[in-house]
Amino acid sequence: MKIQSLLLIAFLNVSILSIAQNDKGTVVTDTIYSQNLENDFGENPNRAVSVYLPPNYQNSDQRYPVIYFLHGFMGDNKMMEMMSGLLDYAIADNKIKPFIMVIPDEKTTYQGSFYSNSGVFGNWEDFTAFDLVKYMDENYRTIPKKESRGITGHSMGGYGALKIAMHHPDIFTTVYAISPGALTIVAEYGPNSNTFRELSAIKTIEGLKKSYFGSVMMAFGRSWSPNPENPPFYCDFPFVYNGDELTVNQEVLQKWYDNMPVHMIDENLENLQQLKAIKLDWGRNAGDRFTLQCDMFSQRLENTGITHFAEEYIGTHGSGIYTKDGRIPQQVLPFFDFYLKFGE
């Protein structure tokens, strides 16, 4: 009897351990080659992709919806290491039913692709909307329907989520942009800030690295107005200073507007009407470049009759997002739980 009792205790301990292990998801990191990212400027067309698989994924034949998360400027797919614990918590706490999340590495040598088709430095939007989605549907047990795909992201990633959703309602029907940037030209993005005065005085890539906003402007330029004939930055800028004299390049400015969501609404109105759910949020203390443009985008959506959710919360650009009581588990994932289709 004593031996049987010990065996029973050992069995129960193993069972409890097994259950505890099954409460956690797993993270797999793959590498995807994309012809859309082939270029002559040193950007790697082989991209790391981190995939979160929900608890018990390996022990069933169930299919799951997919949330595509786009990282911010200077970020990459490695942020999944931080996110996976939040995803486990959100599923265990019934914030969201089990799902798959994928984070692609779209960091470039200039820190961020802005998920845009450059034509010179790679077509990052096409990689995300077509190559990445196809890869996930072919290699994982996804529910391969637009109603079961959501797209989200923070900062540059929030911008990318909005832009890609606006262009591809046949692929994604639900979008949540967390403190998105690059929606229009305001504050540090504008000609009357110090950004373009400083940028006009910088003549080398090394010098540019000392200017954060200058680096962001080069990323804008390489994403939206690339020029392989214009070294060392290989792009054109809409605002250039010669001393105190400002020159506005209207052609380049229009290219930037064509890629900024505040100015993309009219052209993409029918696409926006096809989306099932749209939400954006931003921290009240994030700075004018975020608060002003997010409010402008929301008002433009409202003025054109696009139903959406917009929320300003007390916080900065990065605070209260990646914690158990933060935006992702408490706001973002429940939003997708409500609007995504989980059954086949």
| Co-location of 207 and 332 in the same domain | no
Look at residues 234, 254, 274 and tell me which one is the last residue of a structural domain.
Answer: 254
User: Is the domain of 55 the same as that of 119?
Assistant: yes
Are residue 241 and residue 169 in the same domain, yes or no?
no
15 is a domain residue:
no
Which residues, other chains included, contact 176 with Cβ-Cβ below 8 Å and sequence gap of 6+? 150, 151, 152, 161, 279, 280, 332, 335, 336
Q: What are phi and psi of 70, to 5 degrees?
A: -105, 125
204 within domain boundaries: yes
Side by side, the strands of the sheet bearing 174-178 are 26-33, 46-53, 100-104, 66-70, 149-154, 174-178, 277-283, 309-313
Residue 47 lies in a domain: yes
Strand-pairing partners, residue 280, are: 177, 310
Distance CA 101, CA 81 (A): 12
- pLDDT tens-digit readout, 38-59: 999 999 999 999 999 999 999 9
The two tokens of residue 276 are 């099932």
Q: Supply the DSSP symbol for 260.
A: S
Same domain membership, residue 145 and residue 160: yes
Same domain (yes/no): 172, 291: yes
Q: What is the pLDDT of residues 102-144, one digit of tens each?
A: 999 999 999 999 999 999 999 999 999 999 999 999 999 999 9
Helix (H) / strand (E) containing 262? helix 261-264
Which range of residues forms the domain containing residue 317? 25-184+261-339
**What's the CA angle centered on 187, arms 182 and 191, to 5 degrees?**
95
Same domain, 225 and 246: yes
Q: Examine the fold and report which residue of 227, 254, 281 is the final residue of a domain before the chain moves on.
A: 254
**Residue 49 in domain:** yes
DSSP H helices in 116-236: 124-126, 133-139, 156-167, 195-201, 205-208, 212-224
Beta-bridged to residue 67, according to DSSP, are 101, 150
> CATH number, domain at 161?
3.40.50.1820
Query: 4-42 burial, b for 16+ CB within 10 Å, e for fewer?
Result: eeeeeeeeeeeeeeeeeeeebbebeebebebebbebeee
Q: Which residues does 3 contact at the CB level (< 8 Å), separation at least 6? A: none
Give the pLDDT confidence score for residue 209 in this predicted structure: 83
Q: Is residue 122 part of a domain?
A: yes
Distance of alpha carbon 340 from its chain centroid, rounded?
Answer: 18
Q: Are residues 133 and 78 in the same domain?
A: yes
**Residue 17 maps to a domain:** no
Q: Which residues on neighbouring strands pair with residue 50, listed in sequence order?
A: 29, 103
**Is 3 within a domain?**
no
Q: Give dist(CA 216, CA 250) in Å, integer.
A: 20
Q: Which of 264, 256, 255, 257 is nearest to 304 (CA)?
A: 264
**What confidence score (pLDDT) does residue 315 get?**
96
- Gyration radius from the chain CA atoms: 22
Q: Which one of 221, 254, 287 terminates a domain?
A: 254
Q: Is the peptide bond before 104 cis (omega within 30 degrees of 0)?
A: no
In a domain, 20, yes or no: no
- From 113, 178, 177, select the one nearest 317 (Cα to Cα): 178
The whole-number pLDDT of residue 8 equals 41
Q: Per the structure block, which two tokens stand in for 293?
A: 């443009």
SS3 277: strand
- Do 304 and 220 lie in one domain? The reply is no
Per the structure, how many domains does the chain have?
A: 2
pLDDT recorded at residue 289: 86
Compute the distance between CA of residue 123 and CA of residue 224 in angstroms, rounded to an integer.
11
Residues 115, 92, single domain; the answer is yes
Residues 231 and 327 in one domain: no
Output the pLDDT for position 58.
94
Contact 49, 31 (CB under 8 A): yes
Q: Which amino acid is at 35?
A: Q
Q: Are residues 50 and 85 in the same domain?
A: yes
Regions of the chain short of the pLDDT cut 70? 1-22
Alpha-carbon distance of 160 to 157, in angstroms, equals 5
Do 313 and 232 share a structural domain?
A: no
